[in-house]
Amino acid sequence: MTEQEEHLLRVFDNLFKIRNECSCGIFSECGLSDMTVKQIRYLKTIDENGDVTFGRLAEITRCSKPTITETINKFVRMDCVYRQPCPDDGRIQYIRLTEKGQTIARAEQQALQRVVEMMAQSLDEQEIDVLTDILRKVR
């Protein structure tokens, strides 16, 4: 690795640390500093799929229905999700995110937004334009 590449690695490592700190801050704001990556992935999956049922979530995550039921029950206790009966078929329940669940599911995006805001406060318009032009070249 060249000296320039090592420097670039350190710079990006620092950026990722800042993003992770922002993510941790978001989780702490929700009172959930001990969320697992898997739990966050479940919440993101629910957020991304809209009308998701227990069976559908089991299919998407390739987990058993009992595992999904146990996880959803835990999320209900954590005030991250709630069950909503299907208006057409009372046997079907949709899994819905609470506001807290949405915040957690979208934490990575929110953390990235915070990093961008920090960068915007640290750089002038010309520097932001140069950085944007450089990063667009990366594929």
Domain ranges of the chain: 1-34+107-139, 36-105
- What's the pTM value of the predicted model, to 2 decimals? 0.70
Alpha-carbon distance 42 to 1, whole Å? 37
Mean pLDDT throughout 127-135?
A: 90
Under DSSP, is residue 34 helix (H, G, I), strand (E, B) or coil? coil
CATH number of 36-105: 1.10.10.10
Whether 7 has a pLDDT exceeding 90, the answer reads no
Alpha-carbon distance 110 to 108, whole Å? 5
The model's confidence at residue 9, banded by pLDDT at 50, 70 and 90, is: confident
The model's confidence at residue 33, banded by pLDDT at 50, 70 and 90, is: low
Q: Bin 94: left if φ > 0, else alpha if -120 < ψ < 50, else beta.
A: beta
Q: Are strands 52-53 and 93-97 parallel, antiparallel or unpaired?
A: antiparallel
pLDDT digits (tens, 9 = 90+) for 34-91: 678 788 889 999 999 988 999 999 999 999 999 999 999 999 999 999 999 988 888 8
Q: What is the pLDDT of residue 32?
A: 67
